[in-house]
Structure 1
Amino acid sequence: MSAAASAVEAKTRRRVRDPIATRETILEAASNLLAKDGPEGVSLSAVAHLAAVNRGTAYQHFETRERLIEATVQWVSDRLFRAVFGDPATLGERRVEDVDPLAMVERLCDFAMENPDMCRVWLQQVLASPDPRQDPFWREYAGSFGRFARTGMAEPGIDVEVLSVVNLAGVFFWPILARAHAHTHKQRLELSRRFSQEIVRLSLFGTMREEAFPEIVERVRPQTGE
């Protein structure tokens, strides 16, 4: 038996003994298919083939393709959550005043740079869902902007939902350009840092000087209702 065949057999034996590892393998395969073909391209048979498990095993973990797609989005959400915010159990210990915004954006950009297809799939699926707030990562990400907007550190009139979508869309689509021009991990990390720096700079300073656009300032000024 060749070395490659032996490695595949050993991996298969480990999965047989470890249903959690098998489930992870199936979910990773499903996320790859979602990124490549969208929800229409996902079937339990195709995922089982890509994950190198038999179809019966896939059905033991996920009875329908709908449950598989739902579980895959949740799996990506959990990975995003832990990469950006850490252990969900510690969230109650965080105060918005103590969060380092640049470090948080860098963690998000780094994860997106290494998992671009996965992130775009998650964003498309969650935003198209009936209630994005059911997703743990979206709830915490948008919620963190909401909590910030209610502090004295924020400019008035922030549209939290719009800001959340704009930031995530930029972060998750930047790797398309980056990966076309960066061929090493170091180069991708440098481009990730460029993006995170600009996102935070825009939040701090914006791009338009108020005194040069007085009419625009009036049009976007938050309405007080008075």
Structure 2
Amino acid sequence: MAATRTDPDGRSRRRVRDPVATRETILEAASNLLARDGPEGVSLSAVAHLAAVNRGTAYQHFETRERLIEAAVDWVSDKLFRAVFGDPETIGERRVEEVDSADMTERLCDFAMENPDLCRVWLQQVLASPDPRQDPFWREYSGSFGRFAATDLAEPDIDVEVLSVVNLAGVFFWPILARAHAAGDRQRTELSRRYTREILRLSLFGTMRAEAFPAIVERVRPKS
């Protein structure tokens, strides 16, 4: 897409829009509509209007509404992945002992606190997927727990899938509560740290003293 600008000398020149930046703007607008109205509220014309581009430009990047929605969901997942884990191209180079669970949790909490709409889109679409395990962020997140659980650093018999679901559900719900009584960026950061501390405390110590609940200890003991 090109626009016209006028130089100080009065002559008009054509300004070429960056197609990569335009695509990014369209995807951001689509994700905002997905978060607010769900897939039913997304159309190419509505997204073009929100992104401040003409409809023809939107169609140049995405031929159909379905492709736009699919691309927006992938864009959100990639944003989440990069915020928590870094560049997907280099993720396989890390060793399990290099993964800092505290830092990973803090980055996830910070992203969720600052981007609740994106997290809502990711969660809605993954839950609607016929196979949520194919999502790149889910694979890496649960995979990180799985690799950790296989080391001697972890308690035995961790149910990796359940733990991953519990953590993500809490991380994505917490900002909804926290932002209701957070007056600014500083308070949101403090609330993010508060959530991180409690998740880490639960991971280290839990909430029940095992010696006080022998029946529950027996109940959760793996069956041979």
Q: Same fold (TM over 0.5)?
A: yes
Q: 1:15: Cα distance to partner?
A: 8.8
Q: 1:36: Cα distance to partner?
A: 0.5
CA 40–16 in structure 1, closer or farther in 2 if over 3 Å, else same: farther
Q: For 2:162 and 2:71, locate their aligned partners in 1 and report how far apart those are by CA, in whole Å.
A: 26
Q: 1:89: Cα distance to partner?
A: 2.2
Q: 1:90: Cα distance to partner?
A: 2.1
| TM-score, normalisation: structure 2 | 0.90
Q: For 1:213 and 1:164, locate their aligned partners in 2 and report how far apart those are by CA, in whole Å.
A: 25
Give the structure 2 partner of residue 28 of structure 1. 28
Give the structure 2 partner of residue 170 of structure 1. 170
Amino acid in structure 2 at the alignment position of 1:195: Y
Q: 1:150: Cα distance to partner?
A: 1.1
For the residue of structure 2 that corresponds to 1:156, the secondary structure is coil
Q: 1:16: Cα distance to partner?
A: 4.6
For the residue of structure 2 that corresponds to 1:77, the secondary structure is helix
Going by fraction, where is helix more abundant, 1 or 2?
1
Show structure 1 runs of 5+ residues with no match. 1-5, 7-12
Q: 1:14: Cα distance to partner?
A: 10
Q: 1:28: Cα distance to partner?
A: 0.4
| TM-score, normalisation: structure 1 | 0.89
Aligned residues of 1:156 and 1:222 also touching (Cα < 8 A): no
Q: For 1:14 and 1:173, locate their aligned partners in 2 and report how far apart those are by CA, in whole Å.
A: 46
Amino acid in structure 2 at the alignment position of 1:134: Q
For the residue of structure 1 that corresponds to 2:156, the secondary structure is coil
Q: For 1:149 and 1:18, locate their aligned partners in 2 and report how far apart those are by CA, in whole Å.
A: 45
Amino acid in structure 2 at the alignment position of 1:57: T
Show structure 2 runs of 5+ residues with no match. 1-5, 7-12
Aligned pairs, number: 213
Q: For 1:104 and 1:45, locate their aligned partners in 2 and report how far apart those are by CA, in whole Å.
A: 38
Aligned residue runs from structure 1 range 128-143, under 5 A: 128-143=128-143
Q: For 2:29 and 2:121, locate their aligned partners in 1 and report how far apart those are by CA, in whole Å.
A: 13
Going by fraction, where is strand more abundant, 1 or 2?
2
Q: For 1:172 and 1:222, locate their aligned partners in 2 and report how far apart those are by CA, in whole Å.
A: 30
Amino acid in structure 1 at the alignment position of 2:63: E
Aligned-residue Cα RMSD (Å) equals 1.8
Amino acid in structure 2 at the alignment position of 1:194: R
CA 14–155 in structure 1, closer or farther in 2 if over 3 Å, else same: farther
Give the structure 2 partner of residue 193 of structure 1. 193
Amino acid in structure 1 at the alignment position of 2:61: H
Give the structure 2 partner of residue 217 of structure 1. 217
Aligned residues of 1:15 and 1:22 also touching (Cα < 8 A): no
Asked if 1:59 corresponds to 2:59, the answer is yes
Q: Deviations over 1:34-93 (max 9, x none)?
A: 110111111111111111111111111112222111111111111111111111222122
Q: 1:27: Cα distance to partner?
A: 0.5
CA 61–183 in structure 1, closer or farther in 2 if over 3 Å, else same: same
Give the structure 1 partner of residue 10 of structure 2. none
The farther-off stretch of 87-96 and 35-44 is 87-96
What is the percentage of aligned positions where both structures have the same residue? 85
- Segments of 4+ moved more than 6 angstroms: none
Give the structure 2 partner of residue 101 of structure 1. 101
Q: For 1:125 and 1:100, locate their aligned partners in 2 and report how far apart those are by CA, in whole Å.
A: 28
Amino acid in structure 2 at the alignment position of 1:35: A
Q: For 2:139 and 2:42, locate their aligned partners in 1 and report how far apart those are by CA, in whole Å.
A: 26
Amino acid in structure 1 at the alignment position of 2:206: G
For the residue of structure 1 that corresponds to 2:21, the secondary structure is helix
Amino acid in structure 2 at the alignment position of 1:181: H
Give the structure 1 partner of residue 152 of structure 2. 152
Q: For 1:106 and 1:15, locate their aligned partners in 2 and report how far apart those are by CA, in whole Å.
A: 42
Q: For 2:24 and 2:101, locate their aligned partners in 1 and report how far apart those are by CA, in whole Å.
A: 31
CA 75–15 in structure 1, closer or farther in 2 if over 3 Å, else same: farther
